[in-house]
């Protein structure tokens, strides 16, 4: 079984310091959390950025400043900016970080209801627009899918040549309005993608470690982080992203899965080493 790629989503756009005091806002806080996750075993940092007051932003200058700060602390780590941004942002606003030509970025592959009046809109034309811009920059998209219908959309666009190899999926499960995070859901998605594709699983809230274990067991990869889950165990808040990554490393050891370094992750994903 190939080595395990751990992605750490260190902050997201929604969770705040009121939820967990380790959620980073400033450039320095973000760089420290990225380094701590990397030192614990994460080879990919899934990156949202904030203004110093915690409000989410897709400003390319803020991304550049933050990426430079992270690279100073861990030069080899793979940085994966989010093009999801936050609900209500325009497509071009969301796409700003690709101007920096990162190795990877996310590509949300369909719309989802986030609860109440919040709708995260990604129409088919939006997905096509994002894909064309991302591939033009030579960036590998991580295909974020909140359910089977998003995988189906990816495969339709793949057959048309709009989405290209290498296919690397992220199953984001447990989001309100998206697919739940039960074992049956994971297995359904895993068995719905091509054998040549790779995948990572992001379980939200209580699903995080249960889905991490399932993915480890079945040869997939894992995403954890304060964006998805603020607890290390029921009722006990995680002392930063490092604690969440260390728990995945512990689970992986139970199944004999070695942890991929950033260079090994690049080989698995077909990136330049």
CA distances from 250 to 40, 181, 236 (A): 11, 21, 18
Contact 173, 179 (CB under 8 A): yes
Domains of the chain: 6-269 (3.20.20.70)
The closest of 131, 35, 119 to 79, measured between CA atoms, is: 35
* 205 SS3 class: helix
Phi/psi for 194 (5° steps) reads: -60, 150
Pairing of strands 49-50, 56-57: antiparallel
Write out the two tokens for 138: 């030579």
Percent of the chain as helix, strand, coil, to the nearest 5: 40, 20, 40
Question: What does each of the 273 residues of the chain score in pLDDT, given as a tens digit?
Answer: 999 999 999 999 999 999 999 999 999 999 999 999 999 999 999 999 999 999 999 999 999 999 999 999 999 999 999 999 888 899 999 999 999 999 999 999 999 998 889 899 999 999 999 999 999 999 999 999 999 999 999 999 999 999 999 999 999 999 988 999 999 999 999 999 999 999 999 999 999 999 999 999 999 999 999 999 999 999 999 999 999 999 999 999 999 999 999 999 999 999 988
Looking up tokens 């274990």, which residue turns up? 213
Q: Which residue has the tokens 């009722």?
A: 235
SS3 269: helix
Contacts for 196 with CB less than 8 Å, ≥ 6 apart: 165, 166, 167
Closest alpha carbon to 130 in 155, 156, 157, 149: 157
Taking the whole predicted model, whether its pTM rises above 0.75 is answered as: yes
């Amino acid at each position: 079984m190939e080595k395990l790629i751990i992605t750490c989503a260190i902050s997201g756009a929604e969770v705040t310091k009121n939820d967990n005091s380790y959620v980073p806002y400033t450039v320095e806080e973000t760089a420290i959390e990225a380094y701590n996750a990397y030192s614990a075993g994460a080879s990919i940092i899934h990156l949202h950025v904030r203004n110093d007051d915690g409000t989410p932003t897709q400003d390319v200058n803020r991304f550049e400043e933050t990426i430079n700060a992270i690279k100073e602390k861990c030069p080899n780590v793979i940085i994966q900016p989010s093009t999801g941004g936050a609900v209500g942002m325009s497509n071009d606003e969301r796409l700003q970080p690709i101007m920096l030509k990162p190795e990877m970025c996310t590509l949300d592959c369909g719309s989802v209801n986030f609860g109440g009046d919040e709708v995260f809109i990604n129409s088919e034309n939006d997905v096509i627009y994002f894909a064309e811009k991302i591939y033009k920059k030579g960036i590998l998209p991580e295909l974020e899918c909140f359910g089977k219908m998003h995988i189906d959309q990816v495969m339709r666009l793949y057959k048309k040549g709009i989405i290209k190899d290498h296919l690397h999926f992220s199953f984001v499960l447990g989001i309100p309005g998206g697919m739940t995070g039960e074992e049956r859901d994971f297995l359904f998605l895993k068995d719905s993608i091509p054998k040549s594709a790779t995948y990572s699983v992001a379980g939200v809230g209580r699903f995080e470690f249960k889905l991490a274990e399932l993915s480890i067991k079945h040869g997939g990869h894992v995403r954890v982080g304060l964006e998805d889950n603020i607890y290390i165990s029921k009722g006990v808040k995680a002392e930063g992203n490092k604690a969440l990554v260390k728990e995945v490393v512990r689970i992986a050891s139970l199944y004999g899965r070695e942890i991929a370094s950033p260079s090994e992750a690049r080989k698995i994903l077909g990136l330049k080493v």
